[in-house]
Amino acid sequence: MQQIIRPRRLRRTPSLRKLVRETRVSEESLIWPIFIREGENIYEEIPTLPGQYHYSPDQVYRAIERCLETGVSKVILFGLPKEKDEIGSGAWAENGVVQQGIRAIKEKYPDFYVVTDVCMCEYTSHGHCGILCDHDVDNDKTLEVLAKTALSHAQAGADMVAPSDMMDGRVEAIRDILDENGFENIPIMSYAAKYASFFYGPFRDAAGSAPSFGDRRSYQMDWHNGREAMRECELDLEEGADILMIKPALSYLDLIYQARERFDVPVAAYSVSGEYAMVKASAAAGLIDEYGVMCESAISIYRAGADILITYFAPELAQAIRKGDIG
């Protein structure tokens, strides 16, 4: 039998496989989450996230140097304040922990790109993402403090802000206050479809942000719903979002794909702490090849349509791209 069509022809050698790859990625598309803890001389590994660290503002240079060594050019900052209160006032304090971290980075590395997470859960004594009215988060009261927080980050030198709270109308509130204060060129990367996921456990330990009562299902999305995610994305774009994010990534590849097909803006995906921790734990138990699973998982996210990947594996993935293993 004469076989004219042989797909295996294009798989014969590494050089040929790289030539015909459909999904190509760049280290420029990676963002590394890092945790800034208020204090001094803090450089401590996070038990629930092996290989990730808490940095005090005076030690955050360690994270940036690792970025520069491996090829990562962007980070997203999360803050752990010493003190919390009912309204999370440390989130927008001029000398808050994230604001200190931004200034420390920009003082030494002025061209390094800094994104900031805008939320209240790390700063409130109750651990919820906004201002409480009894045991409910008051959406509209929360908008004011989110906007003040985003503005304080921009004033400290942040290059982009990323609201993760899932309050209705928060993108518009942030866009308005940024524009009114001369920060019209600061982009907003919206956590547009953020689900009430069980994959966040290690992060909540790392960031000290677990709610002290109840859960976040009244504002984060129900993981049964996909069409609702597209509505959330559409609303955020109408309010002025520049980039849409889907979070988590691996269990929501279908939504990354839908967002990519439907909206002509950059789409980001956040490969969250639970995804990272599962790979680390499985590798430590000798069950998987950590490097291979890391690369394969990342490619699945890009193949689904992500333009930007926020991941705790960013330094390792950047090196893999440089080596040509997934580039």
Residue 137: which CATH number?
A: 3.20.20.70
Q: How confident is the model at residue 98 (pLDDT cuts 50, 70, 90)?
A: very high
Higher-confidence position of 215 and 272: 272
Ramachandran assignment for 22, one of left (phi > 0), alpha (psi -120 to 50 degrees), beta (any other): alpha
Q: Tell me what percent of the residues of the chain surpass a pLDDT of 70.
A: 97
Residue 1 belongs to some domain of the structure: no
pLDDT, tens only, 217-240:
778 899 999 999 999 999 999 999
Cα dihedral 102/155/40/116 (nearest 10) = -40
What's the number of domains the chain is made of? 1
Mean pLDDT of 283-304: 98
Please list the alpha-helical segments (H only) found in the chain: 14-19, 61-70, 97-108, 139-156, 170-180, 201-207, 227-239, 253-262, 273-284, 290-304, 314-323
Has residue 214 got a pLDDT over 60?
Answer: no
Euclidean distance between CA atoms 91 and 79, whole angstroms? 8
108 is catalytic: no
Residue 219 belongs to some domain of the structure: yes
Euclidean distance between CA atoms 293 and 283, whole angstroms? 9
pLDDT of residue 213: 61
Residue 191 belongs to some domain of the structure: yes
pLDDT, tens only, 171-204:
999 999 999 999 999 999 999 999 999 999 888 7
Residue 99 belongs to some domain of the structure: yes
pLDDT of residue 210: 67
How many separate helices (H) and strands (E) can be counted in the chain? 11, 12
Has residue 294 got a pLDDT over 80?
Answer: yes
Has residue 242 got a pLDDT over 60?
Answer: yes
Contacts of residue 173, Cβ cutoff 8 Å, sequence gap at least 6: 143, 144, 146, 147
Nearest C-alpha neighbor of 76 from the set 163, 184, 147, 151: 163
pLDDT of residue 130: 80
Residue in 84, 148, 194, 280 annotated catalytic? 194
Residue 81 belongs to some domain of the structure: yes
Residue 2 belongs to some domain of the structure: no
- The residue with tokens 């599962």 is 278
Mean pLDDT of 63-90: 94
Mean pLDDT of 88-117: 96
Has residue 148 got a pLDDT over 90?
Answer: yes
pLDDT, tens only, 26-50:
999 999 999 999 999 999 999 999 9
Residue 176 belongs to some domain of the structure: yes
Q: Which domain holds residue 41?
A: 7-323
194 is catalytic: yes
Has residue 14 got a pLDDT over 80?
Answer: yes
Residue in 74, 84, 247, 280 annotated catalytic? 247
Residue 255 belongs to some domain of the structure: yes
pLDDT of residue 127: 74
Instruction: Please give the model's pTM, rounded to 2 decimal places.
Output: 0.94
Residue 117 has what DSSP assignment? E
Q: How confident is the model at residue 4 (pLDDT cuts 50, 70, 90)?
A: confident
